[in-house]
Amino acid sequence: MRVVVLPGMGRPAPVPSLDELAGWLRAALPSGPVLLIGHSQSCQVVAAAADDPRVTGVVLCGPTTDPRMRPLPVLAWRWLRTALAEPWWQVPLVLRQWWHTGPRAMTALWRAASPERIDLRLATVRVPVVVVRGSRDALCPADWARQVAGAAPRGELVELPGAAHMTPQTHPAAIAHVVGSLG
C-alpha cells in the first residue's frame, strides 16, 4: 500500500487551498485502482480529489465541516464535548498533535476547509462513498453525516456505536471492515 502525506495538513505551516491539496493528492496517487480515505478535515481534500478516474471508492471518517460549526465558540464547544467522549488513552495523542501543529495552523486549516461545501463536491462523485461517524461524535453530528452521505449518488452512512471522533485509532477493525467492503 502506498501512503501519501499531504503538505499543509497537520503541520505548522501556511495552509494551501483545498484544490491545491487535492491536486497534490491526485499527483501522488498510484496508477490505480485507488480507495481514498479521509478523517476529520482531510475529508474535504479527499472529496475534492474523488473525481479522479483512478478512484474506485471513498471513505470519509467524521467529516467536520458542518456549517453550523463555523462560529468559533460552537466549534470549541463541540470539540470539547467530543474530546471528553474519547477513550482516556487518546488524550495524549490528540494533545501531541495540537502541540505539534499549533493553534494558528489548526485555525488556518479550519478557515480553509470550513467554507467548502463537501456535499456539493460529493454530488458529482460516481463511486461508492461511505461516511463513518461515531455515535458520540459532536464534531460530526448524525444529521450532518446523513446529509453528507446523502449528497453522494452512491452514498452510505455507517455509525459506530460508542465511538467518538477518532474512529481510525479507536475502532480500526470497524474501519478496516468498511474499507474491505469497498475493495
CA distance readout (Å), 130 to 60, 80, 94, 120: 6, 26, 24, 16
Taking the CA atoms of residue 11, residue 14, residue 15 and residue 17 in that order, the dihedral angle to the nearest 10 degrees is -150
Per-residue pLDDT at 88 = 80
Mean pLDDT, consecutive 10-residue stretches, the chain (183 aa), reads: 44 72 91 90 91 94 88 81 80 73 71 80 95 95 97 97 92 92 81
Full-model pTM: 0.86
DSSP 69-124: G-SHHHHHHHHHHHHHHS-GGGHHHHHHHHHHH-HHHHHHHHHHHTTS-HHHHHTT
Per-residue pLDDT at 5 = 40
Per-residue pLDDT at 6 = 47
CA distance readout (Å), 100 to 2, 6, 11, 84, 175: 24, 16, 7, 21, 26
Domain annotation for the chain: domains and CATH numbers: 18-182 (3.40.50.1820)
